Amino acid sequence: MRRSYSTFLLCLLYVAPLAQLGAQATRLDSLDVFVKAQMAERNVRGLSLAIIKDGKVAVARAYGVVDDVSKAPVTTTTLFQAGSISKPVAALGALHLVEKGTLSLDAEVNAKLTSWKVPENRFTTTEKITLRRLLSHTAGLTVHGFPGYDVSGPIPTLVQVLDGAPPTNTPPIRADTTPGALWRYSGGGFTVAQQLMIDVTGQPFPRYMQTAVLGPIGMTSSSYEQPLPSTRASLTATGYYADGTPVRGRWHVYPEMAAAGLWTTPTDLAKFAIEIQETLAGRGHGVVSQATARQYVTEQKNHYALGVGVQGSGPTMRFGHNGRDEGFDALMTAGAESGDGVVVMINANDNSPMADRIRDRVARLWGFAGVQARPAPAATVAARIEPKRLAAYAGYYEAQENDMVSLAANPDGSGLQILVDGRPAENLLTMDSARFGSSERPFRVAFAMDSSGTITGVTWAAGEPGERRVPRVSPLPGALQPRPDPDQALGARIVTALAALRAGGAALAGAADVTPGAKNDFGRGGSSALDDMVSATYIGEENVAGRGIRRHGGEVARVRLYRLRTQNGERYLMVHLTSEGVVTDYDVVAR
């Protein structure tokens, strides 16, 4: 009997781990299918992720390829640019210096800056710029983010970036509101913090961060070196823009390292998140103390702490950050007490909710703390609708200033698709002749028309009280056919205005047919979207007067549409005009 009882116990010991392994395999299979489907729909080349469970890196997975040329597979050691997730890691480096007494959170930073100082002005007479305010985006400093620099072009020094001096491609970093008065995201503030850390340590920023943060935590694949040395550069993915074109030179160089310059992997960022969790629990590697870690995740303003976003409290409190560099997006979220989290990195700029969906799928599959039950979708069955009416609803709509979303008819006629960057992002099923509901969340839209039956916009409702009116910008240009231009003189003036917007500088300052706001915002030149244009053909115009569309301070009254032939295929140009026929913005779209 004793032998039989012992055998029974041994069986139990083996069966339990086998059951756990089976559950893990099922979760991974489900995750793999979901991730691959999302990547295919959004044309994302490569993706890497890491899952934290019970305070450990429980899963590391890689999907897709590093580029279209080599087709080399992404691995869990492939390096991605972290974008603004560089900020929470850099912030820990600054807090390490606070811990040592080298810096103070609440002292004026100009007292410690030596290579450069924040210029004083009327905004800094009563309130000063401090490290706490730099790390919490409350310092009143300018420059939201940084586009980086072509690997083959000139790279400015950090002081040149701070002053906006050539060859810098961003404005000077200056206080333009009272420090502490409001929360406003500022990569410029973290660039000042980078110079501060360099000045007080006497070390290059990558070396200091390696010694103080990356090394102690064990982030062996991570580096702030810009550009990367060849040994690490061979491990990188190639970045791709939202339209699918690769970043020239594979990626950009970021001298603004603290704000945007970290090269890393999801596994290393998971180690970083675990370090915060462990330090909050009184353990960790001693980069900062438990008390400082608590300050690190204490909200200062607008759900932002000292370099990291925060939400919730107690057992369900979470910290994290999103990131974007040219051709790369990233997401990191973790529970402060629950010991769970996920990091997702892709070699693409994707403006859809894809990364959020993957995060939510992981949270449900691995049972993260505080995960809410999935809300019921607005629609589950599609009502019948005339194809002609459905097609009429397709078009571009101004979700917010200078941020369009496009709607297209579903191929199966069941409703509409929300398109982001020309690719499907969400299905809206037909509820009746003018209302559509999301098949995955409590979101619905209702189309508005004027007395003549012209569609003027939609009303959005996302399940909570309140609705929002979103004006229509134009039909989908790809559905229109070329026609004679009824105002060729206006067309010629538009060509001249667009050339000035693209050039910036003196050419733009002297342009007669560009609004003052556009001159100010395009002063350093426009995007490269028109660089490969071969020809443009007029295809139509939308009268949007009175719809409340504004671009760069100008009220948009008309939108002119053109079909472009480019070296990379067909595109469409939308030119936004005031009632006087002056250009206030332009967009190049895929369909």
Q: What single letter denotes the amino acid at residue 28? A: L
- Note the pLDDT of residue 19: 55
Q: What single letter denotes the amino acid at residue 108? A: E
Q: What is the 3-state secondary structure (H, E, C) of 419-447?
A: EECCEEEEEEEECCCCEEEECCCCCEEEE
Q: What single letter denotes the amino acid at residue 533? A: M
- Do the Cβ atoms of 359 and 333 come closer than 8 Å? yes
Please compute, for residue 541, the number of CA atoms within 13 A of its CA located in the half-sphere on the CB side. Answer: 17
What are the C-alpha distances in Å from 241 to residues 59, 94, 345? 28, 32, 14
Instruction: Collect all residues with Cβ–Cβ distance below 8 Å to 344 and sequence separation of at least 6.
Output: 47, 48, 49, 266, 330, 331, 355, 358, 359
Please state whether the predicted TM-score (pTM) of the whole model is above 0.75.
yes
Closest CA to 378 of 437, 315, 303: 437
- Do the Cβ atoms of 132 and 306 come closer than 8 Å? yes
Radius of gyration of the chain (CA): 26
Q: What single letter denotes the amino acid at residue 367? A: G
Tokens representing residue 99 in the block = 């811990």
Instruction: Collect all residues with Cβ–Cβ distance below 8 Å to 492 and sequence separation of at least 6.
Output: none
Angstrom distance (rounded) from CA 141 to CA 564:
39
Tokens representing residue 157 in the block = 């020094």
Instruction: Quote the mean pLDDT of the chain.
Output: 93
What are the C-alpha distances in Å from 197 to residues 97, 174, 207, 261? 8, 19, 11, 15
For 284-317, what is each residue's pLDDT tens digit? 999 999 999 999 999 999 999 999 999 999 899 9
Backbone angles phi, psi at 360, to 5 degrees: -65, -35
Distance in angstroms between the alpha carbons of the first and the last residue of the chain: 76
Angstrom distance (rounded) from CA 327 to CA 347:
6
What averages of pLDDT result for each successive group of 10 residues across the chain (591 residues)? Answer: 45 51 84 97 96 97 98 98 98 98 98 98 97 98 97 97 97 97 98 98 98 98 97 96 93 98 98 98 96 98 98 93 98 97 98 94 92 84 92 94 91 91 90 93 92 93 77 95 95 93 90 93 80 90 96 96 88 95 93 84
- Do the Cβ atoms of 45 and 66 come closer than 8 Å? yes
- Note the pLDDT of residue 423: 86
Q: What angle do CA 520, 521, 526 make, to 5 degrees?
A: 120
Tokens representing residue 108 in the block = 């004026």
Q: What single letter denotes the amino acid at residue 374? A: R
For 379-399, what is each residue's pLDDT tens digit? 999 999 999 999 999 999 998
Tokens representing residue 343 in the block = 């990091």
One CATH from 3.30.70.890, 3.40.710.10, 3.40.50.720, 2.30.30.170 for 80-365: 3.40.710.10
DSSP per-residue codes, 74-121: P-TT-BEE-GGGHHHHHHHHHHHHHHHTSS-SSSBGGGT--S--PPP-
Q: Left (φ > 0), alpha (ψ -120 to 50) or beta: where does 413 sit?
A: left
Q: What angle do CA 287, 291, 295 make, to 5 degrees?
A: 95
Angstrom distance (rounded) from CA 94 to CA 190:
10
